[in-house]
Structure 1
Amino acid sequence: MVIRAMVADDQAVVRTGFVSLLGTQDDIEVVGEAEDGAQAVRVAAETRPDLALLDIRMPHKNGIEAAREILAASDGATKVLMLTTFGLDEYVYEALAAGAGGFLLKDATFPELLHAVRVVAAGNALLSPEITKRLIGQFISARSAARPVRTVEDLTAREVEVLVLIAQGLSNADIAGRLTITDHTVKTHINRLFAKMGLRDRAQAVILAYELGLVRPGTQP
């Protein structure tokens, strides 16, 4: 299956570099480019890509606003991978909450770029400890204070366990092994957890785990 991707970044050198690198792969086709957030929304509507690679900071409409509109218009069919730097920490929480599947540093290596595109396009979250967890930990308290508080009252004890393990970065197979249950049972718990808490994907599950205080910065699996 060929991944249809679009790249949006107001820095021409960065955008061209990513487009050129992605274009070398047989399983990836770049179907559009954009130099700002507003154009990214238009290009996504026209091309319906499987994956939108969006810079967080862009003129006219930032990457977070563009991500929200692209995800809403495609009903989640287009996955979003955000481009960021460690200097933009304050935007990570909002991007995850908006539905971004993960983050990629602008100075990422070629293998890291390809891995990120394939993981997020497949509907999985790219939650590397070096980026997402560290940054969420820095800002979650302040952000949560301004948001409606969610509780675990509607979750079973097992669903809470699964949520914690998701936030710690474990795969379904790892969770099954840790809890001594089957992969199918893990998927059932995850589906129920997502439905109860209104979660789109594993990235938003990590956000929830931090909001609820189930996982704290620096904790290890």
Structure 2
Amino acid sequence: MNRPGDTQSVLDTHALHTRGALVTRVLLLLAVLTALIAVLAACGEASDTKELHVASSGTPQMKAAAALYAVALTRAGTPATTDGAPTGDDARLLDAIAAGDIDLFPAFTGDVLTDLTPSPPALTGDELQAQVSRSLPQGVAIGDPTGAARTDPRGLGQDLVPVYRSAELDKPALAALSRIAGDLSTEDLDALGDRVAAGEDPRSVAADWLSTHASA
């Protein structure tokens, strides 16, 4: 015959086991919910990642330059592609970037200034860069000029630069563009353009160049 104290002890032990099992279930449920939230957050971040569109005028040199920027940006953690991006002259591309239809395109500074300013003054170097920057639509900027240049009969300097939507590029992306600026020469751009004109894929051409230049 069980004494009252023995019965109470059994009841207490059962209650402890019950509470322990309940705590275990709650902890397991919390762990599952935490893992689920992490998965959903990761999926949300992945779906929110925007692939930047890099356009060009469509010439072999500009296709190569656009591919250089797209590949370098992607390697720097900012996904970018030339696929599906429109082609056209700088005036059309300026309209497209101002409207948010594209995010970046390569251009020569003198050509950009001519499209933005009627009868632009004959400028070169830093003065030209500053004048182009002042003339661009709000939210659009130019990156560091490359060593790829060409002669302009109007007396304007002609350095290749990336024209981009400033809100779309973070510091690593801008650093990737600057590394290209430090290494790309006129001879490089011509050679890359020749390969594209011969039928090679611009992104493959760009990847080859970046593997030995620009630390990208």
TM-score with structure 1 setting the length: 0.31
Q: Which has the higher helix share?
A: 2
* Bigger relative CO (Cα 8 Å, ≥ 6 apart): 2
Q: Which has the higher strand share?
A: 1
